[in-house]
Chains A and B, each alone.
Chain A
Amino acid sequence: MRLRLAAIAVLVLALCGCGTTGKERDAQGSVQRFIAALSRHDGAAACDELSPDAVSAVEQGEKKACGKAILSLGLPAAPVADVQVYIDSAQAKLRGGAAVFLEETPKGWKVSAAGCKPQPGMPYQCELEA
C-alpha cells in the first residue's frame, strides 16, 4: 500500500513539474522585490533585479541610466498571482493579466522581460525585454 502511494506521489510530482518549489520561491522573491521597488519609485533597486541584458536594453532604449529609465516605462506593479519555473526560466503572472519573465543567473533569478501583455495565439508583448 505504502509503495503504491509513493509511486502515485512520484507520478503526480513528475506530471505537475513540482519539486521546484525552492526555485519558485526564489523567482517569486525576485519579482516581488522588483515590483516593490517600482511601487516606491526606487529605480536603482528595480534595476538590481534585472538581468544584465535587460539593463542594457533599458539604457539603450531610453538613453538614460537604468535607475531613471526604468521608472519612465510605466511598468505594471500588481501583486504576483502565480509563478512557474522550468529549468532556468520562470514566468510570474501578475493580477490583471500582465507577466514578468525571469532567467536564472549566477547571481540568482533576474527579470529578463517585464510589462508583458498577453496576445491571443502569440508571444507576450513586453515593454522591457533583454
Chain B
Amino acid sequence: MNARARSFLYENGLTLGFLLLFFGAIVGQAIAGYHEFNSEQIQHGSSTISFGRFVTSSSFGAAVMENWQSEYLQFTLFILLTVFLVQRGSPESKELGKHGIESDEEQRVVDHAHPRSPSWARRGGFRTRLYSNSLVLVMGTIWVGSWFAQAVTGRIDFNAERFDHHQDAVSFGSYLGSAHFWQTTLQNWQSEFLAVASMAILAVYLRQRGSPESKPVGASHESTGMEG
C-alpha cells in the first residue's frame, strides 16, 4: 500500500471504521432476518422465500428503515438542541452562557471568515444562511426520508399480516395513525433519546482517556464543553 493510500485510511479512519461495522451488521441482520422470516413462514404453513427476495422485501426494508429514521432523528435533534440547551459539566454541551447561534465573529462567517473558510461561509446572504444550517437540514432530510420509507414498507408488511388474519388492508393515511406504526416508531425513539441523555450526563462524571467525546481525565466535573 502506498503512502497516499495509508494517509487516506488514517485520516478517514473513523468514517471508514464505522462504515465497515455498518456493512457487517446489515449483512448479519439480513442473514438472521432471512432465517427468522422463513422459520415463521414454515410455522404458518406458507412457502419459504430466497435470500434475494427477502432483502428486497418490505419486511427487511421496514426493519432497516425503522432503525435508520430513529438514528437520524437522534442526530438531528442532538445537533439542533445543543445550539440552545446546555448541560453543566458535559463535553457534549457548549459552555454555559454561550447558548444560541453565536455571533458572526465566533462562527467565522462573512466578514469574519478566514481564507480557508468554506466558500459559502464567506459569501453571505442566502448561501451562508443555508450552509450555516446544512448539517441539520441534511440529517433532518435523511430522517424524514427514512421515516417515510418505514411507513411505506411497514404498511405493506402490516397489510400482508392483516390478510393472513382475514382482515381488510388499511390505507397509507390510516396506517400513519395506527398503533402499529407508532409503536415501531416510538420503540426506537425512546432508546435514542435515552442514549443521548445518558451520554450528556455520564460524561460529566466519567472519562475515556483519548476520546474527544470525553473531557480530559483530570478535568473537573464542572468544566463544560471541554473535549479530551
Binding site for B on A (CB under 8 A): 14-17, 53, 84, 86-91, 99, 101, 103-106, 113, 116, 118, 123-124, 126, 129-130
Contacts and interface: CB of A to CB of B under 8 A. Distances in A.
B190 interface: no
Contacts of A123: 165-167
A123 B45 CA distance: 20
Contact of A91 (B46, B49, B58, B163): B163
Interface in B39-87: 45-47, 49, 57-59
B102 interface: no
B182 interface: no
Across the A-B interface, give the 10 residue pairs with the lowest CB-CB distance, nearest first.
A89-B163, A86-B160, A87-B160, A86-B159, A124-B166, A123-B166, A89-B160, A14-B152, A123-B167, A15-B172
A125 to B, nearest CB: 8
15 contacts: A17-B155, A17-B159, A84-B163, A86-B58, A86-B159, A86-B160, A86-B162, A86-B169, A89-B159, A101-B163, A101-B166, A103-B164, A118-B168, A123-B165, A129-B166
Contacts of B57: 87
Interface string B3-32: 000000000000000000000000000000
Helix, strand, loop or mixed for chain B's interface?
A: helix
Contacts, number: 58
Interface residues of B, number: 23
A101 B46 CA distance: 13
Helix, strand, loop or mixed for chain A's interface?
A: strand
A88 B45 contact: no
Given A86-B159, A89-B160, A124 B169 contact: no
B167 A124 contact: yes
Given A14-B152, A15-B152, A86 B163 contact: yes
